[in-house]
Amino acid sequence: MIDTSDIRKNLKVEIDGYPWIVVDFQFVKPGKGQAFTRTKFKNLITGNVIERTYKSGEKLEEAAIEEHEMAFLYSQGNNYHFMNNQTYDQVEMSEDQVGDAKYFLTENMKVEVMYFKERPIGIELPNFVELQIVHTEPAVKGDTVSGATKTAEVSTGFKLQVPVFLSNEEWIVIDTRDGAYVERVKR
């Protein structure tokens, strides 16, 4: 069991038979009163978001989620295929299950596939991935304002803001948690 003081972002709990992940939480305490943790959860299967208020000291049940490292093979239509490189087991997940991770998946990328009650329910990406820019406008000459950015599209079709000095075919590191540019890499 988990105590309210252990609540943190990305904690996975089971409520009403479903696995949920903590997306946000807040300590609240009315004057001269009991303390609470107001918690926002996302359902790992349906994507529903709910908010619950827990009295300090209340217990939550940890979700029994197993994670297995798998490699992304390919996508076909709305289906995404992964393989366990140890057992050669393959799983197929829908676009909904993969969620925003689809913007960062490249062939053979190692991801964690989450299983809840022996069913694959989603994937967890590494925090940082390297992707190649496939399209961005050339920098405008003389635009030397520090911190100036422009839009770039990477090989997965994802678009983000990058510094103006970057050009087509360069590789960059992206933070998969917020989709933000981190740095340029030489390959």
Partner 1 sequence: MTTGGAGHFFPENFLETLTARHKILHAIREYFDTAHYLEVETPIMVLSPGIDPYIDAIHAGTGFFLSPSPELQMKRLLTIGGVPCIYQITHAFRENERGYQHNPEFTILEWYHSKKDYVDIMQEAEQLIYYLLHDAGLTLPAKEKYTFPFLRISVDAIFRNRAGWEPSCQWDEDRFFLDWVEKIEPYLKSVGGVFVTDFPAPLASLSRLKEDNPLLCERFELFLRGIEVANAYTELIDPVEQTQRFKNSQGKRKIMGKESYEIDTKFITALQHGIPECAGAAMGIDRLIMALLGIDDISKVQTFPFDRL
Rounded to a whole number of angstroms, the minimum distance from the CB of residue 127 to partner 1 is 16
14 strand-pairing partners = 19, 61
Q: Output 110 or 177, the one with its CB closest to partner 1.
A: 177
User: How far apart, in whole angstroms, are the C-alpha atoms of residue 45 and residue 66?
Assistant: 14
CA distance 107 to 109: 6
Distance (Å, rounded) from C-alpha 139 to C-alpha 143?
Answer: 7
Identify the bridge partners of residue 160 per DSSP, sorted by sequence position.
152
Contacts of partner 1 in 1-40 (CB under 8 A) = 5, 8, 25-36, 38
Per-position x/- string for 104-143, each x denoting binding to partner 1 as judged by CB under 8 A, each - no binding: ----------------------------------------
Phi, psi dihedral angles at 161 (to 5 degrees): -90, 130
Least separation, in Å, of the C-beta of 49 and partner 1?
A: 16
Sign of CA dihedral 128, 42, 114, 6: positive
Q: Which of residues 45-84 bind partner 1 (CB under 8 A)?
A: 53, 55
83-to-75, 80, 112 alpha-carbon distances in Å: 12, 10, 11
Smallest gap from residue 35 Cβ to partner 1 (A): 7
Q: First vs last Cα of the chain: how many Å apart? A: 46
Q: How far is the CB of 30 from partner 1 (least distance, A)?
A: 5
Residue whose entry in the numeric block shows the structure tokens 């053979």: 108
The minimum distance between CB 102 and partner 1, in angstroms, equals: 28
Residues touching partner 1, count (CB under 8 A)? 17
**Of residues 4 and 97, the one with the C-beta less far from partner 1:** 4
Minimum CB distance to partner 1 smaller for 17 or for 31:
31
Contact residues toward partner 1 (CB under 8 A) are: 5, 8, 25-36, 38, 53, 55
